[in-house]
Amino acid sequence: MQKKLLLGVEAIAQGAIDGGLSGVYAYPGTPSTEITEYIESNPIAIERKLHRVWSANEKTAMEAALGMSYAGKRAMVCMKHVGMNVCADAFVNSSITGINGGLVVVAADDPSMHSSQNEQDSRYYGDFSMITILEPSTQQEAYNMAYQAFEISEKTGLPVLMRITTRLAHSRSTVETKELKSQNEIKFPQDERQFVLLPAIAKRRYANLLNMQPVLEKNSEESQFNTLEDAKNHEFGIVACGIAYNYLKESFIGEVPYPVLHIRQYPLPINQIEKLAQECKKIMVIEEGYPFVEKKLRGISQTIEIKGKLDGTLPRQGELNPDVINQAFGIQSKQKYQTPELVVGRPPALCQGCSHADMYEVLNQVMTEFGKGRVFGDIGCYTLGALPPFLSINSTVDMGASITMAKGATDSGVEHAVAIIGDSTFIHSGMTGLLDCVIEKTPVTVIISDNSTTAMTGGQKSHGESRLEKICLGLGVEREHLRVMTPLKNRHEEMYSILKEEIEYQGVSVILSQRECIRTAARKAAKKRANVQ
């Protein structure tokens, strides 16, 4: 038993290790990255030789974890919310196969889009797959849930989804740890065909999933994570999910005058909600993300008045905070000062000396010859090339979309389309798109802006390192159109000619623009200096 000051994500990592984890599988993504980083450097994880190497993407991560579960061991998969889209095929089918060793999927949602392209709510994925969802409201609960989730998974024979949001992920508090459990031994599934989703077997497995639904509902009704606190004023009954409860308590300084049902385990505890609805005139639903519970409640009760995000009581967009809750209940704000008008925005920017900056500078010059609107971007630090001073890219959609969107635009007749993609993003989801281009000999130019790391999330290992040339050649890119350049101030002329030649070429070109991220380089140098001392 130890007391530690942990981020929500670190609490999940520690809970999983203590709960008998055998392997974590993940691709970096804010706000989920530190779960895997914590396990990477944790002494017990190292001693136990837990699997903790980054995966190529969320789909390979999910599948490998399912493989570990097949072998009877406890596995965890971690990703940011949009990673759920990447692994959705494996994730949704894992509820049909069911599990053998406990399997926990952690999805970190990012309402307010602090570091993301949308606010999608991962609870929908859990609901769609018909499995248990856990949504912690404190760091201690995050720990406890990760610790218990493997058992819930093994008892129900299904994966468990843990859904967190940015604020819990990246907020620190004290956590008391529990006894370290041993890992599971290797044990094959009793039913040798459990994981074979041929239609005949899948039908049986799906029937099993359907039959499990009343069990999951009963678990939610009886769960320690779903609690009803009564209060005198029955004007409102409040359903607060996960950390929304904290803001509610803050608004009423701990004493909420209305009954509150605090939900942290799904499927919804229908009986508890019905009881609340019978006793109260109106229901207010407070939840982070989409109006997921609110919509379900509208289905359960046609007669009761439901307040929340759908009627405008709470904002539909952005994360919750105490001020939003105050406003919903008409509680006066204590705000005294305004931000002075002279304060200007300070958007994120590429670092001084960043290799992407040199690449964009030269690309902008070259593109004046070919015309605007034909540079397709991707996800990473280089997405900042969309902002001033560069204004270089015309799209950023999802991991890998630069290459395939450039291809589609070219297929429709746009000439001289260029894709910009990072080394790690190329490994994640760029290779298949490049193969499509090679198959059709589509005249696109793919710039892999290779800084030898996954920089945006803090410099995790990029599996592109020393493999990119071989991969491109292996996919069928012609040797003479696989060019390498070093993005440095004194090389701009050479870069200009390479870019111009390849953009003019009527076939697939790949340009590897290679220089290490200055942050990782600086960190390595500092480490070296420390070792010398």
Q: Which residues pair with 375 in a beta bridge?
A: 418
Query: Residue 24: beta bridge partners?
Result: 76
Supply the minimum distance, in Å, between the C-beta of residue 204 and another protein.
43
Q: Say how many residues touch another protein, by CB under 8 A.
A: 52
The verdict on 458 binding another protein (CB under 8 A) reads yes
Q: Which residues contact 423 (CB under 8 A, 6 or more apart)?
A: 448, 449, 450, 451, 452, 453, 462, 464, 465, 468
Does position 489 interact with another protein (CB under 8 A)? The reply is no
Q: Which of 39, 277, 384, 403 binds another protein (CB under 8 A)?
A: 384
Which residue from 53, 89, 114, 176 is in contact with another protein, where contact means CB under 8 A? Answer: 114
Q: Which helix (H) or strand (E) holds 284?
A: strand 282-286
Asked if 118 is part of the footprint of another protein (rule: CB under 8 A), the reply reads no
Find out whether 482 and 469 touch, Cβ atoms under 8 Å. yes
Tokens 């981020």 -> residue: 7
For another protein, the binding residues in 165-184 under the rule CB under 8 A are 167-168, 170-174
| Minimum gap (Å) between residue 167 Cβ and another protein | 5
Closest contact distance (angstroms) between CB of 139 and another protein is 8
Residue 342 CB, shortest distance to another protein, in Å, is 4
CA neighbor of 111 nearest in space, from 97, 100, 121? 121
Q: Which of 253, 257, 256, 313 is nearest to 287 (CA)?
A: 313
Contact with another protein (CB under 8 A) among 185, 342, 470, 493 = 342
Q: Which of 445, 453, 457, 513 binds another protein (CB under 8 A)?
A: 457
In 3D, which of 395, 454, 397 has the Cα closest to residue 427?
A: 454
Contact 162, 104 (CB under 8 A): yes
Are 360 and 492 in contact by the 8 Å Cβ rule? The answer is no
Asked if 398 interacts with another protein (CB under 8 A), we say: no
Question: Does residue 342 contact residue 352 with C-beta atoms inside 8 Å?
Answer: no
- For Cα atoms 156, 161, 166, give the angle at the middle one, nearest 5 degrees: 155
Axis-axis angle for helices 199-222, 139-156 (nearest 10): 130
Binding part of the chain for another protein, among 26-34, 56-64, 476-484, 508-516 by CB under 8 A, reads: 26-34
**Given candidates 49, 334, 372, 470, which one binds another protein under the rule CB under 8 A?**
334
Among 42, 60, 115, 486, which residue sits at the site for another protein (rule: CB under 8 A)? 115
Distance of closest approach, residue 350 Cβ to another protein, in angstroms = 7
Piece in contact with another protein (CB under 8 A), picked from 52-60, 178-186, 230-238, 243-251: 243-251
Query: For binding to another protein (CB under 8 A), which residues are involved?
Result: 3, 5, 30-31, 33-34, 114-115, 167-168, 170-174, 243, 246-247, 249-251, 254, 321-323, 326, 333-340, 342-351, 381, 383-384, 456-458, 530, 533
